Amino acid sequence: MNTAPVTRRWFLWGWLVLLVFLMLGTLIWLAGRYEVSQVQAQVERDAADGVSDIRAAFQRNVQTLQSLLSEARGPAVWAQEAHEVLRQHREWVRLEWRDDELRLMASADSPFRQPVFARFGRDNALPEVNAACALAKRQSGPGYSHSIYVSSGDGLGLEIMEVCLPWVTDGELSGFLVASYALPEVLSNLVGPHLTRSQQVSFTEPDGTRLAIHGQARRSKRVFTAQQLLDLPGYTLVLRVDSWRAAPDFFPNVLTALVTALAIALATVLYLLARDMRRRQRVEHDLADALAFRKAMEDSLVTGLRARDLNGQITYVNPAFCEMVGFQPQELLGHGIPAPYWPPEMFAEYGQRQALRLAGNAPPREGIESVFMRKSGERFPVLIFEAPLINAQGQQTGWMSAMLDVSEQRRVEELSRASQERLQATARLATVGEMASLLSHELNQPLAAISSYATGTLNLLSQHAADPSAQDLASSLGGAIQRIAQQAERAGQVIKSVHDFVRRREQAREAVKPHVLVGNVLPLVHLQARKLGIRVSLHCPQDLPAVVCDRTMVEQVLLNLARNAMQAMSEIPASLPTRRELTLTVKPAASNAASSWLVFEVADLGPGISQSVAAQLFTPFFTTKEEGMGLGLSLCRTVIEQHGGYLGHQANHPCGTVFSFTLPAQMA
């Protein structure tokens, strides 16, 4: 099933859900930011209101101080009135009446605390008083000094700010009225209680140094801070408001809650749609699985299926049918009579058969044989089973055909006949084996007699070896007779090996050096090579490991392959000596010398082997020679395979053939 549409559908659903939740998160974040801005704006307004309250209170206090200067009184009376004023204004801790030279005329301390200057005196604050009064004299109005810290000696203290008001009588400066503000009391008494109930207010220097604080600090995740300048003649303070109002919750207001509810409703609808989509997808998946299963069954059939309507037009073909006839489905669908896979010479016959079928005559259930034609023009036999095609309403809509390609069956029949022929050839081979066994038994006696006579002749020659006149003749005859004895012994070994091979006895194997094997057959090879005018090349290193084999049988394989190679080059003209060369090579099977197999190669430069001959080269009784029996190469392959090796051939370059076989090497 194609998963691309499903993946694309889930991708779109994923994007939709992501966008919904992104919209919800954005709305909540914007509402939260709006609420934060509202809280911050409220804190800013509270700070501005606090500054306004303090400034208005300072204006009223200036008027109160001016009332103390409106009438000329004595120091005692003034001090009494100053005490009454201090009882009404807790923000003042001391009032002083000084003359125009700033000498103290009278003073009064707040009744609500110990005199702040009683412990360390007034001298430390006089510079600030002088500065404030000098400013007041210049402006003819109130002047404020910088705040100073006055310690009470017990680890506590107050920030004091002096305000000086000039006392003018008849246009002449007659003195000054100095009031000492306690900044903490200013915050607690002059700032509205609604500002300090849930917030902390403080006076700070412009650089951020705190001078006085009013209100309790509380723990909170979020602190909202606002600062406002309190610009006084001669001094500037900063009023700071710290609000520990909680940051907006997940639902900061009704609008956000409503939007969230709508988003949740939308998410619910999306969930319901997704569940419905999953159900539909499950049904579609089951339907697709059923269709895929049916199609897989149709596609896996080796039987060709074809459906035709009542008019004979093809409406369906399966892949097996298309592969059978070699046409694509689009080339067959909708095609009528004659069909493109009908042989032209059978149009009339098949047309009559089709007309009878369309007339309502049902074909036989056992099937009928026909011949179809592939797109390439190849004819092949088929067996057709055809039945009416009935729809769900029980009505016939056409014909359904099942077709079997019986060309494989015909091929199997041909193979069966070929097997029978091979069985007959095997019987003949068994007969040859029996004959070989009989011949080996019968030839052993004359070979033994030849060996005995040769030995007796050698003994007689050795008795006359002392005669000088017969010494040369004895030497020559001795060598020849010795060779006769060796070849008779070798012929006996060959016959014994053939006898054991035919009777399937356990063959004696021994470790033999490759150059010894090649050297034993080399004299016979040279003898035939001299007769045919062929040059023999040998490539067999002395340091190769020994091979484990039946020496006699392997030597016969080498000799047989060498004779075949020389016979293949015997037809090459003598004027081409470079084409008349036999090469014997022994080498390790792998690139390294430590290989566990050795390769023996016999290469010629003859005309080579055609493909048709190569396919039957090792078949028993197959031969290209007039006098040959066709058993040599077959027996050679059998001998090598009994040793666990492989005998094969390949083309030589630039011409000729290379026969090679492998033998197991003796491991150190």
pLDDT 10s digits, 69-98: 765 568 888 888 889 998 998 899 999 998
Per the listing, tokens 């290193």 go with 541
Strand 92-99, strand 143-144: pairing: unpaired
CA–CA distance, 434 with 457 (Å, rounded to integer): 35
Which tokens go with 452?
């005995």
Q: Taking 50 as the threshold, does the pLDDT of residue 166 lie above it? A: yes
Which tokens go with 654?
């630039």
Of 210-214, 476-480, 580-584, 657-661, the one with minimum mean pLDDT is: 476-480
Q: What is the pLDDT of residue 361?
A: 61
What does the chain come to in residues? 668
Hey, CA dihedral for 61, 66, 67, 69, is it positive or negative? positive
Q: What is the pLDDT of residue 600?
A: 94
Q: What is the pLDDT of residue 601?
A: 94
| Cβ–Cβ < 8 Å for 406, 369 | yes
User: What's the Rg (C-alpha) of the chain?
Assistant: 63
Strand 210-214, strand 199-204: pairing: antiparallel
Q: Taking 50 as the threshold, does the pLDDT of residue 442 lie above it? A: no
CA–CA distance, 637 with 644 (Å, rounded to integer): 11
Q: Taking 90 as the threshold, does the pLDDT of residue 659 lie above it? A: yes
Burial of 21 (0-12, 13-18, 19+ CB in 10 A): middle
Q: What is the DSSP string of 92-146?
A: EEEEEEEETT--EEEEEE-TTS--TTTTT-SGGGHHHHHHHHHHHHHHTS-EE--
Average pLDDT over residues 296-316: 81
Q: What is the pLDDT of residue 331?
A: 83
Per the listing, tokens 């005490």 go with 83
% of residues, the chain, pLDDT over 90: 8
Q: Residue 262: helix, strand or coil by DSSP?
A: helix
3-state helix, strand, coil in the chain (%, to 5): 50, 25, 30
For residues 472-489, one letter each, b for 16 or more C-beta atoms within 10 angstroms of the residue's C-beta and e for the rest, the string is: eebeeeeeebeebbebbe
% of residues, the chain, pLDDT over 70: 77
Q: What is the pLDDT of residue 642?
A: 84
Burial of 467 (0-12, 13-18, 19+ CB in 10 A): exposed
For residue 523, whether the previous peptide bond is cis, meaning omega lies within 30 degrees of 0, is: no
Going by pLDDT thresholds of 50, 70 and 90, the confidence category of residue 329 is confident
Q: What is the pLDDT of residue 72?
A: 52
Q: Residue 494: helix, strand or coil by DSSP?
A: helix
| Cβ–Cβ < 8 Å for 539, 565 | no
Q: Which of 399, 334, 394 is nearest to 360 (CA)?
A: 399
Per the listing, tokens 């470079």 go with 578
Q: Which of 183, 118, 109, 186 is nearest to 152 (CA)?
A: 118
Q: What is the DSSP string of 3-28?
A: -HHHHHHHHHHHHHHHHHHHHHHHHH
Q: Taking 70 as the threshold, does the pLDDT of residue 626 lie above it? A: no
Q: Taking 80 as the threshold, does the pLDDT of residue 159 lie above it? A: yes
Q: Taking 70 as the threshold, does the pLDDT of residue 456 lie above it? A: no
Q: What is the DSSP string of 515-552?
A: HHHHHHHHHHHHHHHHHHT-EEEEE--TTSPPEEE-HH
CA–CA distance, 602 with 568 (Å, rounded to integer): 12
Q: What is the pLDDT of residue 479?
A: 60
Average pLDDT over residues 509-530: 87
Q: Taking 90 as the threshold, does the pLDDT of residue 144 lie above it? A: yes
Q: What is the pLDDT of residue 178?
A: 92
Q: Note the CATH architecture for domain 303-405.
A: 2-Layer Sandwich (3.30)
Average pLDDT over residues 113-138: 85
Higher pLDDT, 289 or 8: 289
Q: Taking 70 as the threshold, does the pLDDT of residue 503 lie above it? A: no
Q: What is the pLDDT of residue 438?
A: 47
Q: Taking 70 as the threshold, does the pLDDT of residue 627 lie above it? A: no
Q: Which amino acid is at 97?
A: W
CA–CA distance, 99 with 96 (Å, rounded to integer): 10
Going by pLDDT thresholds of 50, 70 and 90, the confidence category of residue 628 is low
Q: Residue 599: helix, strand or coil by DSSP?
A: strand
Q: How far is CA 29 from CA 249, 251, 454, in A?
A: 11, 10, 121
Of 145-159, 291-305, 361-375, 529-543, the one with minimum mean pLDDT is: 361-375
Q: What is the pLDDT of residue 74?
A: 80
DSSP-derived letter for residue 391 is: -
7-58 pLDDT, tens digit each:
776 777 777 777 777 776 777 677 667 777 877 888 888 888 888 988 999 9
Q: What is the pLDDT of residue 501?
A: 53
Q: How many CB atoms lie within 10 A of CB 585?
A: 16
Q: What is the pLDDT of residue 663?
A: 92
Average pLDDT over residues 318-344: 83
Higher pLDDT, 255 or 437: 255
* Domains in the chain: boundaries: 303-405, 417-506, 508-664
Average pLDDT over residues 382-411: 82
Q: Taking 80 as the threshold, does the pLDDT of residue 316 lie above it? A: yes
Q: What is the pLDDT of residue 668?
A: 60
- Fold of the CATH domain 417-506: Helix Hairpins (1.10.287)
| Residues paired with 304 in a beta bridge | 403
Q: Taking 60 as the threshold, does the pLDDT of residue 211 lie above it? A: yes
Going by pLDDT thresholds of 50, 70 and 90, the confidence category of residue 6 is low
Of 260-264, 462-466, 620-624, the one with minimum mean pLDDT is: 462-466
Q: What is the pLDDT of residue 466?
A: 58
Which tokens go with 300?
């896996």
Average pLDDT taken over every residue of the chain: 79
CA–CA distance, 635 with 318 (Å, rounded to integer): 50
Average pLDDT over residues 102-111: 88
Going by pLDDT thresholds of 50, 70 and 90, the confidence category of residue 586 is very high
Contacts of 591 (CB under 8 A, 6+ apart): none
Q: What is the pLDDT of residue 594?
A: 57
| Residues paired with 650 in a beta bridge | 658
Q: Which of 344, 322, 320 is nearest to 333 (CA)?
A: 322
Higher pLDDT, 597 or 310: 597
Average pLDDT over residues 467-475: 59
CA–CA distance, 482 with 256 (Å, rounded to integer): 123
Q: Note the CATH architecture for domain 508-664.
A: 2-Layer Sandwich (3.30)
